[in-house]
Structures are given as C-alpha cells and as structure tokens.
Amino acid sequence: MDDKTKQTIQQMNQDPATVQRLLTSQDGRRLIQMMSQANGGPALQQAATSAIRGDTSQIMQMVNQLMQSPEGAALVERINQAAKK
C-alpha cells in the first residue's frame, strides 16, 4: 500500500462525514463489496471496528490485498482522489 492510501485512511478515521460520503458513493459501495467477497463480511466489520478505535492495520491489510488486482488498484486510486475534494 502506498503512503497516499495510508494517509487517506488515517484522515478518514478523523472525519466521519467524509467516510460516509465516500462509502455511499458508487466506488465506495464497490470497495465494500470487493472487500466483503475477499475477506468475508464479519472480518470486514471487525477491521472497520478496529479502525474506528484507531487500529487501522487490519483495514490497511485488506486494502493492500485488494490493490493487488488492477480493478482494486484503480478503485482505491479513485477513492483517494475523491477524498481530496
């Protein structure tokens, strides 16, 4: 995972409104779908709960795994760009 993605995840952890906006976008919904398929819903929920509590390691690992595919990498890049707006 690149530094830009790590920074975006950390910033999102501090801004719930941005998280809500991004996760309800088309790309955000696709991200959740892909992460659920790859890791299972309960694992994703646990990673999200940990991230809310400040431990982003699980969610970062999931994003890193997702970025191994061209679709996942493009999706994360679009979300990074949207987070800057």
Identify whether the C-beta of residue 58 lies closer than 8 Å to the C-beta of residue 47: yes
Residue 24, classified by CB atoms within 10 Å of its CB into exposed (0-12), middle (13-18) or buried (19+), is exposed
Residue from 55, 81, 80 nearest 1 by CA:
80
The reply to whether 75 falls in a domain is yes
pLDDT at 7: 72
**Structural domains in the chain (count):** 1
Q: So what's the pLDDT on residue 30?
A: 92
Q: What is the pLDDT of residue 23?
A: 79
Locate 29 and state its tokens.
Answer: 């919904």
- Residues of the chain with confidence (pLDDT) below 50: none
| Residue 13, pLDDT score | 66
The pLDDT of residue 1 is 60
66 occurs within a structural domain = yes
37 falls within a domain: no
* Model confidence, pTM: 0.72
In a domain, 2, yes or no: no
First to last CA, the chain: 21
**Residue 40 domain-assigned?**
no
